[in-house]
Amino acid sequence: MNKITILIHCNDRPNIIASVTNFIAHQNGNIVYIDQHVDREQNIFFMRLESEFGSKSFSTEAFKEAFKDVLADKFDMKWRIYSSEKKPKMALFISKYDHCLYDLLGRYNSGELNLEIPFIISNHNDLKSIADNFKIPFFHVPVTKDTKNEAENEQLRLLEEHGIDFIVLARYMQIVSPKLIDKYDNKIINIHHSFLPAFVGAKPYHSAYKRGVKIIGATSHYVTEELDAGPIIEQDVTRVTHAHSIPDLIAKGRDLEKIVLANAVKLHAERKVMVYNNKTVIFS
């Protein structure tokens, strides 16, 4: 059984859903999931559809060509079609924090994440043993002020050599340059703490403790050139009180970071995220 996922956005107009579903029927496909959303302010139509095809002669490339000729050009669609036969390849970028790395690798090892991890990149050697334990290739690419350009070229080489589809910054403590962002537009996922109010600097939990915050949280988003301002994929919060110490806040924050990042990775890998005007539409 061949299964594909179709993502569409275009200007809203009558007959889009009927045209798409009729096209699937004419291709002898069986729709097993369909959802749509209309942004009334922008007049933009979004759709996610999953369809199965039983014919042994089914070709994803031939289907794409027909889809373009019959539908995409007619409705001026921005569209993508993915085959379930190809798992997306994810590269992990890490530094010295291990909580998100352990969580993602544990989920990957148990089969929870429908993707491949060809390698892990780090600007430090501290977590190499974790990669070794999970039998995933580890590349140490040091980054300094003087070697940053050279390091990014090496990162790009590895990404292209292994056919990487998207990158996850699992607490990677380096600013990603426009060179990498342009190559992987809306395909680099970051995780960081989020507070009300926001606390910047090296010790945000210490600042939050001193301020007496009542809520701490985590945000996962796509990376853009504007720091921590990319389209948001997933967020979560938990309440804290005066009784919680700084270590308590750090522990709670790290738990949130793990869960939020894992959910963001799953949403992206399962093709459930669409980006438009620095916002996301997340399908169930």
pTM for this one? Answer: 0.92
List domains and CATH numbers for the chain: 2-83 (3.30.70.260), 89-282 (3.40.50.170)
Distance between CA atoms of residues 147 and 21, nearest Å: 52
pLDDT digits (tens, 9 = 90+) for 139-149: 999 999 889 99
Per the structure block, which two tokens stand in for 283?
């399908």
Distance between CA atoms of residues 44 and 38, nearest Å: 6
pLDDT digits (tens, 9 = 90+) for 89-126: 999 999 999 999 999 999 999 999 999 999 999 999 99
Distance between CA atoms of residues 166 and 233, nearest Å: 14
What integer best gives the mean pLDDT of the chain? 93
Pairing of strands 166-169, 90-94: parallel
According to the model, what pLDDT value does residue 197 have?
A: 60
pLDDT digits (tens, 9 = 90+) for 11-57: 999 999 999 999 999 999 999 999 999 999 999 999 999 999 988 88
Is the predicted pLDDT of residue 196 greater than 60, yes or no?
no
Catalytic residue among 35, 69, 73, 228: 228
132 given a catalytic annotation = no
Confidence label for 228 from pLDDT (cuts 50, 70 and 90): confident
Is the predicted pLDDT of residue 135 greater than 60, yes or no?
yes
CB–CB of 189/264 below 8 Å? yes
CB–CB of 189/169 below 8 Å? yes
According to the model, what pLDDT value does residue 209 have?
A: 85
